[in-house]
Amino acid sequence: MAHKATEFFAQFIYSLDLSYHSLLEREGELKTGFTAILEQYGGEFIHFEEIGDTMRAQCVFDEYEEELFHNICDELAPWMDAFVEARLLFVNKDLSFLHIYTVSDGNWQESCLKLPEAGPLERAVREERR
């Protein structure tokens, strides 16, 4: 398999006010729409997993780019309303950064975490790559 820089995870949380039928209908629409969004931005190996009142998603991307993450959030935000919200996690596979997003009521928020270097060995490897 080709090198993929980003591992992506999502969790969708449904309102307890949704009937079982409404939840299944909404889930089907969301899977189809979100798959199209992910594919539009280069997402591969897309997988969904339904668990009660939540749904998980995951895939990979070639690059780790904040602009890519923002575009996905912008596309997803209109789908998030009083009946569904989401949390997104983009993991740099070199474990240098994590980008975390929440999407609710048509808006999104961002948080970024830079992981510390493991120690002198990692520092030396990073210096060598420059």
Calpha distance 22→42 (Å, rounded): 30
pLDDT bracket for residue 2 (50, 70, 90)? low
Calpha distance 85→14 (Å, rounded): 7
Tell me what pLDDT residue 122 has: 83
Residue pLDDT, tens place only, 81-112: 999 999 999 999 989 999 999 999 999 999 99
Tell me what pLDDT residue 126 has: 78
pLDDT reading at 1 higher than 50: no
Phi, psi of 21 (to 5 degrees): -60, -45
Calpha distance 95→6 (Å, rounded): 10
Residue pLDDT, tens place only, 8-67: 999 999 999 999 999 999 999 999 999 999 999 999 999 999 999 999 999 999 999 999
Candidates 110, 84, 70; CA nearest to 31 is 84
